[in-house]
Chain A
Amino acid sequence: MSAPLLDVKGLTKSFGGLVATDGLDLGVSAGETHAVIGPNGAGKTTLLAQLAGQLRPDAGTIHFDGADITGLSAPARSLRGLARSFQITSIFRDFTVLDNVALAIQAHAGHSFRLWQPARRDAALRDPAGAILERVGLGGRAEVVAGNLAHGEQRQLEIAMALGTRPKLLLLDEPMAGMGGEDSERMKAFLGSLKGTCTMLLVEHDMDAVFTLADRVTVMVYGRALACGAPAEIRADERVRQAYLGDEEGV
């Protein structure tokens, strides 16, 4: 078996006395959809922040696409093909929807020390951005100022921006957070359509979505990987049931 696309070894991060990530090992193979689940406070968002480079781990290594990226900054990781969506919507609120995605594309279209030509008339940025908006279902909202979008649409934009960077690996932090039934179904279907075109690491509380979408599931408790396996194995795992799933009837 070839080396995994993302290979995390012994990742450790603590804040003061609180250990958020505790010697975590995790591997994501190319092409798979890998879900990370766990109770609140298990350290899932902290894990994503360390993978994407917003936080520096205290110890451990992160290998991505064959290279050690542990010491790289967030932008450097993005340029290598690692994209992240945020649990708390993080978009450019003063820009239009199209601008948001065009910026993501611009970040990966060479340097931006271009001070003269108008960027908003640059087809090399606008056309692919428009295509991505069509894909995520925001095609009709391109000229709306992002801050004025409805919550569900902002979540879609969040994903659209991550896709704009043409990632090899997409880190999704609760893409359905705060979404109602219909929006949530649409997002689930959309993520399903991404399967196979893009490797995904999905942190999500919606168990229905996790077990529908994921090829493998890692269960995190107290900053550690308690178990890792196919959805069926995880459902059957006694330790997981006790530690986490046990309190959720009917899973």
Chain B
Amino acid sequence: MSAMNLRRWLTALCLALFALVPVVAGVFGQPFLLDIFDRIMIISIAAVSLNLIMGYGGMISFGHAAYLGIGAYSIGIPAYYGYYDAALQLPLAIAASALFALVTGYICLRTRGVYFIMITLAFAQMAYFAFISVEEYGGDDGLVIEARSRVPAGVVDLESNVQLYYVVFAVLVGALYLVHRIVNSRFGLVIQGAKDNDERMRAIGFNTFRYRLTCYVIAGAMCGLAGWLLGNFNNFFSPEMIAWTRSGELIFMVVLGGMGSVFGPVLGTVAFIVLEEVLSGFTIYWELIFGAFLILVVVFVRGGLMGMIAKFERPRP
């Protein structure tokens, strides 16, 4: 019996539950379930991508939500001019996010520690203000996306909520598998080595900057893809949805779920969004409880949910 078993089972169980949500929502007539889990899965993809750079690469990016915005505006802006084709919007979302990651990462990754955190934050804020100040695309008020991305007939129809749900599900599974492959590959070991001891990595012959920058770009593109899904799901996007506090929430989800485990961020996102839903239904001052909870988690729970689960996994004699 492998020590990984419990976590593997849990991963499979969670994904199976996600897959069943539309059925349950249909049978019991609870469409809001579909909405919540759509959101959970989309934000999960963003969290999984953040985990790749933060959990495995030690790059604490406080600006990850910006890519959600870039991805969403890659639907909104073409749609504003009447271009609805997914074949344009999807590559645009990924390419624009990757480009933003490349340019900002090139500067951010020259710095370390506190500087890195603050600079990623500042660049994301730059994107936020840029979106706000362009009146043409809605400015402060945001942009209504009149139609979802159009895919050739017969493939999928994103206007169908259930079909969109399964597209999101497929992307999540794909993202998880991709990150799983990456972190165990040669490339992934380089990223983790650079997190552990960058000077040593350079001394044994790795130009770590290139690898870290590449990783940063991959994570940005993946989050841009999540943004594309988010725009399609919401049919609306406002700069408020990428305010820097959103990036903070993403970090929290990753830490809550457990950094450096591929599936952890998904658990963190589920816990975060469910808690938010429950608490906000209970009191309008839910952020007070939530903030206190966050502080307590930081002080007492180390290793996140996945770390707690790992403790139950001691192989029996």
Contact = CB atoms under 8 A, between A and B. Distances in A.
Interface of A: 52-54, 73-76, 78-79, 83-84, 86, 90-95, 99, 102-104, 106-108, 112-120, 122, 125, 161-162, 164-165
Contact-residue size bin, chain B (C-beta under 8 Å from the other chain): 20 to 34
Interface in B63-79: none
A104 B204 contact: yes
A92 B192 CA distance: 9
Contacts of A164: 204
A78 B199 CA distance: 12
Nearest to A121: B184
Nearest to B190: A112
Interface of B: 181-182, 184-190, 192-193, 196-197, 199-208, 211, 214
Q: Which 7 pairs across A and B sit closest by C-beta, in order of nearness?
A: A78-B205, A107-B205, A119-B186, A74-B202, A112-B186, A114-B186, A104-B204
B205 A120 contact: no
B204 A165 contact: yes
Nearest to A76: B207
Contact of B196 (A73, A78, A92, A162): A92
Contacts of B200: 86, 90-92, 161
A231 to B, nearest CB: 29
24 contacts: A53-B202, A54-B202, A73-B207, A74-B203, A75-B207, A75-B208, A78-B204, A86-B203, A90-B203, A92-B193, A92-B200, A99-B189, A102-B189, A103-B190, A107-B201, A108-B205, A112-B206, A114-B185, A114-B187, A115-B185, A115-B187, A115-B188, A116-B182, A120-B184
Contacts of A73: 202, 207
A86 B214 CA distance: 28
Contacts of A76: 207
A45 to B, nearest CB: 13
Given A116-B181, A122-B186, 11 more contacts: A54-B202, A75-B205, A76-B207, A78-B204, A86-B200, A103-B201, A104-B205, A106-B190, A112-B187, A115-B181, A120-B189
